[in-house]
Amino acid sequence: MSGRVFCALLCIATQLSCVVTSSKQLRWYIGDPIRVAPLLNGSNPDQWLNTSLSVSEFTGGIYQCCNGFVLQADGTIRPFSQNGSGWDKIYPPAQVDMFVSLSLQQNCSATGTPSGCWSASDTCNAALSRVDNFTQEVLELIHAYNLKGINLDWEFGYGCNMTCHELLWSQVMKVLHSAGKQLAISVDDSQGNNFNKASTSWSYEWDWKYFLPYTDILINMGTYPGAWSKGISWPASQYLKPYKCPHNSSRTCGVEGQVEDMINLGVSPESQLQPGIWLDACQTVNGTTQTMQGWTQEALHDFLNFLDEKNVKIITIWTDDALLIPKQVTTCPWFVEELRNWAAN
């Protein structure tokens, strides 16, 4: 499906509608679609996120975060519910290319907090033992909530059996594709580590390479960049350009280096790869405004030009606490404008 057809209509919970007209897209990784509605529907009187601009015509999708669906110890999947109110009550089904996160967790009680559920326990084998039923449960949830697909929250998949996950998601992918649905996976390429398929020494979220045949979308959270990659790709303005990873010369580090690395390893820049950018609070450092992740206007502008050179078509935007940031926290005034200009050209 072409980008223009694929993104024809966006309509979020509060009278929001917009049409994507560009071949490039901005997508949002968010917790509460209602919070981002003013920015997307062309009316932002309070200048939320320090801008009066709309990005409605360039918004092609939403990834709900986090813990929308939970993979349980018995291999079943269910919507996560906190304090008796599930995300489906907060986020009504919408006519939008919307993905809901599936977390690799177990023993998450209905009133427990998501952070209390993340553990190294492997739920994959339980799901694989009932793969046909599990796949149908995934598909039924996608249809029930009018979703484009699911986003596998690989961020907290450590300790999992890679061989098992390959078998599980290859089967799920076949059924999703037959129904016109998609599988997205959130990964991190910021560290440039060796790929390791062994379940006994599984390397956090870096082993995305094994998912290449099974996923439609790879969201690279490493290009935010985050402080977990301090001195490798964070802060952005200092570690923008590609360079050989100091601990692994076979891999490429730096923000742009991650994009090059993933493309060189077989990720399609036009269809699979979606670099993430962290849109957060603004600060002034040595007289220059920059975000908390180290994006200056010059660095962001250069990175967006680099993405054009690599033929990347989609950027996924994340903000502090998945847009559940205080009203008074605003980003640098040029940030949204740079993103909008990139999508428009």
**Span of 40-54, 170-184, 281-295 with lowest mean pLDDT:** 40-54
What number of H helices and E strands is found in the chain?
9, 15
Average pLDDT over residues 35-50: 59
Q: Where are the beta strands (DSSP E) in 94-189?
A: 98-104, 149-153, 182-187
When comparing pLDDT for 33 and 250, which is higher? 250
pLDDT given for residue 320 in this prediction = 56
HSE-CB at 14 with a 13 A cutoff on CA atoms is 13
62-73 pLDDT, tens digit each? 887 766 788 887
212-233 pLDDT, tens digit each? 998 999 999 899 998 888 999 9
List phi, psi (to 5°) of 229.
-110, 30
> Phi-psi category of 50—alpha, beta or left, where left has phi over 0 and alpha has psi -120 to 50?
left
CB 73 within 8 Å of CB 54: no
80-124 pLDDT, tens digit each? 654 433 455 545 445 568 888 887 754 444 444 444 344 445 678
Average pLDDT over residues 241-245: 96
Structure tokens at 187: 């990964």
When comparing pLDDT for 28 and 273, which is higher? 273
Mean pLDDT of the chain: 78
DSSP β-ladder status, 25-30 and 59-71: parallel
DSSP helix/strand/coil, 43: coil
CB 84 within 8 Å of CB 110: yes
* pLDDT above 70 (res 162): yes
Element (H, E) at 89: helix 87-90
CB 318 within 8 Å of CB 277: yes
pLDDT given for residue 249 in this prediction = 93
Residue 71, Cβ density class (10 Å: 0-12 exposed, 13-18 middle, ≥19 buried): buried
- Kindly state the percentage of the chain with pLDDT values over 90: 41
Average pLDDT over residues 25-36: 73
| Count of Cβ atoms closer than 10 Å to residue 339 Cβ | 21
CB 18 within 8 Å of CB 56: yes
Angle between helices 162-178 and 131-144 (to 10 degrees): 50
